[in-house]
Structure 1
């Protein structure tokens, strides 16, 4: 648990080192949010996107932001006629600053969302806010509001299409033939060794392990390759410090490579 608290403290120090100039930059608008229309799909869902445009040199974070990032949070409560909301995350970049690794996007992020309306005959209004972190020399938290009624008749949006094309490959698309997770209890929590049999994703490969439970935290894995097998070792702890169980079917492994990324859902006992 001490390792978890130390890592968390370092990340928070890096992310919230807010001084007066940084606050002035935030007021000036480091990041702008727009809602894009992509029309209605053949399945009756609405396709849209949240587009974040950042000032030059600024970045924001992926859903699993790494050692020194702020995970984005979404509040859709003000929306109307919104049932299910499905988000497609484009493959992110890996950044290293001051010895800390973070994962996210530089300059712009187009985040596709697919909305299932509660009533197909009524319009869909997206209204809410997004909490996120943005970083350059310092990191600052931002809250961005959005309010947009989606256009059912909108045509194909090139920006949304490009973002969807940048999604990670599925395990099948990446020719993953096996994915196993070996779990070992530790004094702080649990060590997880994930072994993924797959062709290289290109260049230096970085694995990210998400435990599938928001109450659990996984350290940045040490990633190595042994022939056709990628090995990622991480430690998982609970924010409460208490005991916990890991459901292997909920574990999500993302491999970020120079050529593409791979999204692996679940792993077998190893």
Structure 2
């Protein structure tokens, strides 16, 4: 389901465990949209643009990718970066006829630094995006992005984008970029490689995972709607099953109905949703 667009955060960000340095963020108005992908917005540590390919389909959905180019040594966040990170977000101008959007995330890695452990990407990454239009013939879409990037400190990176889906729908470079981003998404879970149960006990989220025999050092990443969750830690492991515990920043209200998760290990990964036990 495509999520309704939410309000973008301001550039001032306070985190529990990390010091965020506010730098000069290159977030000035972009030039008027004249291409099917936006120009690069640059900042200390990296650059961002929104790439689209083709036209909206019969359901009004346009495929694209939020391309995050990182300089060596810089990192960015996954869907749920823990209690102190900034996950990527988009906001579309009110006149853009955008009903909603969804950002997808390829498998992240565990990042351990002086501030703790969190989920993210240590190299440049393209996040697949689906944008749903109420009017598929809409032109000159404008909006903004907001995310965090880190080196020795973490900084908020905010900027604006503009594009026209009909300007270059057959652009080969853009199509390769977008198709490549979607191709890197993890497949759906399958029997023997999936989360099988998830339950809340106060602020603790306990997740049981089935993994293939011989899979070394499986890593679990979880996202709970509406509440930050720390990186799950291995609690117990026995033949074919691993139990993790993730600590939430607070008891979620209202109680979520499901979690999103990714399991990685030995170059393999799966991603999916799992209903929370009552």
Give unpaired runs (5+ residues) of structure 2: 1-14, 27-41
1:222 maps to 233
TM-score normalised by length of structure 2: 0.74
Which has more helix, going by share of residues? 1
| Structure 1 pair 192–54 and aligned structure 2 pair: CA distance change class (3 A) | closer
Aligned partners of 2:141, 2:127: CA distance in 1, in Å? 14
| Structure 1 pair 43–92 and aligned structure 2 pair: CA distance change class (3 A) | farther
1:135 maps to 150
| Structure 1 pair 95–148 and aligned structure 2 pair: CA distance change class (3 A) | same
| Structure 1 pair 68–202 and aligned structure 2 pair: CA distance change class (3 A) | farther
| Structure 1 pair 183–69 and aligned structure 2 pair: CA distance change class (3 A) | closer
Q: Match of 1:161, SS?
A: helix
1:246 maps to 255
The CA deviation string for residues 91-137 of structure 1, in whole angstroms up to 9 with x for no partner, is: 222211126112212341212212222123x2344321111111112
| Structure 1 pair 31–144 and aligned structure 2 pair: CA distance change class (3 A) | farther
- 2:256 matches 1:256: no
Query: Which structure has more RCO (C-alpha within 8 Å, separation ≥ 6)?
Result: 2
1:82 maps to 98
- 2:127 matches 1:111: yes
Aligned partners of 2:194, 2:231: CA distance in 1, in Å? 24
- 2:63 matches 1:51: no
Give unpaired runs (5+ residues) of structure 1: 1-7
1:9 maps to 16
Q: Match of 1:158, SS?
A: helix
Aligned residues: 244
Aligned partners of 1:99, 1:25: CA distance in 2, in Å? 23
Q: Match of 1:74, SS?
A: strand
Aligned partners of 1:165, 1:201: CA distance in 2, in Å? 26
| Structure 1 pair 203–165 and aligned structure 2 pair: CA distance change class (3 A) | farther
| Structure 1 pair 183–166 and aligned structure 2 pair: CA distance change class (3 A) | same
How do 1:101-180 residues align onto structure 2 when only pairs under 5 Å count?
101-120=117-136, 122-151=137-166, 153-154=169-170, 157-172=175-190, 175-176=192-193, 179-180=196-197
Aligned partner (choices 230, 234, 246) of residue 234 of structure 1: 246
Aligned partners of 1:145, 1:166: CA distance in 2, in Å? 26
Which has more strand, going by share of residues? 1
| Structure 1 pair 106–78 and aligned structure 2 pair: CA distance change class (3 A) | farther
Residue 65 of structure 1 and its aligned partner are, at CA, apart by 1.0
